[in-house]
A = this chain, B = another copy of it.
Amino acid sequence: MSFFRYLLFPLFLIPAAQAQQLLLGFDAESSAAQRALEAEFDSQLSASELDEWLRVLSREPHHVGSAAGRAVVDFVAERFREWGYAVEIAEYQVLFPSPRIRELELIAPDYYQATLSEDSLEADPSTFRTNGLLPPYNAFSVDGEVEGELVFVNYGTPADYEVLDRYGISVEGKIAIARYGGSWRGIKPKLAGEKGAIGTIIYSDPADDGYGAGDTYPDGPYKHESGVQRGSVMDMPTYPGDVLTPFVGATAEAVRLAREDAPTITEIPVLPISYRDALPLLAAIGGEVVPPQWRGGLPITYHLGPGPARVRMNLAFNWDMVPAYNVIARMAGSEYPDQWIIRGNHHDGWNHGAADPISGLVSLMAEAKALAALAASGQGPKRSVVYAAWDSEEQGLIGSTEWVEHYAAELDQRAVAYINTDGNSRGFVNIGGSHVLEKMINEVMNDVTDPQTGVSVGERRRARIEVTGSDAARAEVNNRADLRISPLGSGSDYSPFLQHLGIASLNIGFGGEGGGGSYHTMYDTYEHYTTWRDPGLVYGVTLSQVAGRAALRLANAPRLPFEFTGLADNIGLYVGELEELAENMREQTESENARIDSGVYELALDPTRSLGPPLRKPEVPHFNFAPLRNALDELSQAAAAYAAIAENGSAASERDNVLLYTSERELTRDDGLPGRPWFTHHIYAPGFYTGYGVKTIPGVREAIEERQYELVEEEIYTAAEVISGMAARVRELSQ
């Protein structure tokens, strides 16, 4: 029983108040015209059409290199052609490991052979369509047969290894078993390998992702006991994309690394398993009981090991070269055909891929169809719009990365912005992206109606923060004009655009009310999606409205809707965080070292157990943050000056529009981040030891976090330079 009804509000109402407001980059007349155009755009969207596409495209498992994958490509390309797009299939030859041998057995103290397979369920017919199904595995695990004792490493993060150190436990020569969560999966074998482990097993703990989270499939959306999260473990924080062709498109003729030399393949074999398979393994581990925060949801006492549980694991892969097909569909702009708004979503799935990625892809298709209908009635975009359906995202953003590397020079000149979507769900709008687009996308959020409540999706998100946010978040939502959008780390196809080329990007999706446990399992089916995640694809249409508006406004605005006060405000936040990080680390290191030296640990710890004191850490010096503060002041002043121009509705010159859309490039440096030159953006990057999680001002932040103190001030200088460069760019705009 619900205390208020599940209402579907009419989608096509324009609240009267909105109609009068100027859109960023538009004057009064063009704002009104744009809003009318958007209303017409909305009227083209059909939830039942999205639903039908979802059904068709998620019918079969369709990974890169598969026949079903090719069929998806052809279906999507054919639709784009029908709608009037110039379509090409951008093909790359990429290395694709698929499993040849997968064996895992507990050999002591008991014997258990892991099933490594997922159950077909009567309630979901899709789970019987297993032709071409990729079984559970981690792509870009190295081949290997290993045997050793198990050590439970919790999430396998750097902090977890510090805890193991305190217990005197090393994974050297052992096999680490880690649970999913706490970091991106690829970090787990990377760190375990760095620590000397000979293999890694990753499982989904039911406390995080199973019956602990909610009812399991098919009774609910959460992870079935046999469900396994597949996924890539390539070292994406070093570079994503084809492992053999960093920096260049993986065309047939590209120069390739030998596979042995590819630095993004793991050092040790790694295999994902279900919690059903994990139970006998974890139950067999002895040694110390885990600390309370490490407990999972299986009905056992968790222990750290090592042993007596011993496992043998044998993994071998087909290291095939396969074609990856990106569908690229262009609608030329009527006024600025060489300025491209790129809108992408991948099409490949680990299996049926209903949520991931088809739920996002069908929203993109609906947008493209609606845009084409507008164009057919003479209301085509002023700038070119490029729709892209990427292949092989799942193995490491491969299709998009290769395309971006292939066309880097052209994109550098022509790409105005990249708008990404991926899986979608019912709930609240989530937006990450470049903060030069924060104001524009806030206007969009305020103009799109939430289908369940009838208020704007922006207002619904504000309500969510009011109800569930921290006091600070509540205060911000009441005091800041715009909702703060998240900085982007990695995890989907925006990464090469934003972090390799410095193209302003957005990543858009809805979620929070469609429960999830199907991610990268065989249960990511049409039945699961339409029962639990977005019945009727209501939010599929809403996503089309948000992403479509973003694309249309970028395509048509007389002045590109870039804005810099939001950027300055967010960078100011990050600078403050860095100062606080250094300060807190300094205080904590000092006080913890003092405690260690004082001997209180020896007195306080249980002498019958092996937990020892923490290790002393190098104390944190004071850093000179002044260059960052000075650059930030420059940027804030320049942004304020430009804001007056941006808000007056005046059209921009072509020169100014080019200066606007290439402004994000100022935040990059050709030589990239320390140790990972592919990542050129100095404000946003995925964390080297978090994987997907973002690190803002990453050069500085990671140098502090990793206690590489000697790098910090150099990185502060570099970050200050890019911020100062952006300030100069903004001043140029105001002249």
Contact = CB atoms under 8 A, between A and B. Distances in A.
Interface string A428-472: 000000000000000000000000110100011011101110000
A603 B463 contact: yes
Contact of A463 (B220, B600, B608, B609): B600
Interface in A198-229: 206-207, 211-212, 214-216, 220, 222
Contacts of A214: 289, 301
Contacts of A609: 2
Interface in A1-24: 1-7
Given A513-B608, A607-B453, A600 B299 contact: no
B612 A3 contact: yes
B297 A299 contact: yes
A295 B453 CA distance: 30
A301 B215 contact: yes
A644 interface: no
Interface in A626-672: none
Given A215-B289, A467-B601, A607 B298 contact: no
A131 to B, nearest CB: 32
A264 to B, nearest CB: 36
A259 interface: no
A452 B606 CA distance: 9
Contacts of A598: 466
Contacts of A301: 211-212, 214-216, 220, 222
A168 interface: yes
A119 interface: no
A82 interface: no
A604 interface: yes
A610 interface: yes
Contacts of A3: 168, 610, 612
B467 A607 contact: no
A118 B1 CA distance: 40
Contact of A604 (B211, B295, B467, B601): B467
Contacts of A600: 462-463, 466-467
A255 interface: no
A603 B427 CA distance: 11
Interface string A583-606: 000000000000100111111111
A468 B2 contact: no
A56 interface: no
Contact of A212 (B5, B295, B605): B295
Nearest to A466: B600
A36 interface: no
Contacts of A612: 3
Given A1-B610, A609-B2, A610-B3, A603 B460 contact: yes
B467 A7 contact: no
Chain A contact residues (Cβ within 8 angstroms of B): what range?
35 or more
A300 interface: yes
A64 B453 CA distance: 63
A207 B647 CA distance: 57
B6 A467 contact: no
Nearest to A222: B301
A370 B580 CA distance: 58
Given A206-B299, A220-B301, A2 B610 contact: yes
A302 B177 CA distance: 27
A568 B589 CA distance: 36
Contacts of A603: 453, 455, 459-460, 463-464
A220 B7 CA distance: 54
Interface string A341-364: 000000000000000000000000
A6 B604 contact: no
A304 to B, nearest CB: 12
Nearest to A610: B1
A541 B702 CA distance: 53
A468 B291 CA distance: 13
A608 B221 CA distance: 14
Contacts of A299: 206, 211, 297-299
Given A2-B608, A4-B602, A216-B301, 18 more contacts: A1-B610, A2-B610, A3-B612, A6-B608, A206-B299, A211-B299, A214-B301, A220-B301, A295-B297, A298-B299, A452-B607, A453-B607, A460-B603, A463-B600, A463-B601, A463-B604, A464-B604, A467-B605
11 contacts: A1-B168, A2-B607, A3-B168, A4-B602, A6-B608, A211-B301, A212-B301, A215-B301, A295-B297, A297-B297, A463-B600
Interface of A: 1-7, 168, 206-207, 211-212, 214-216, 220, 222, 289, 295, 297-301, 427, 452-453, 455, 459-460, 462-464, 466-468, 513, 595, 598-610, 612
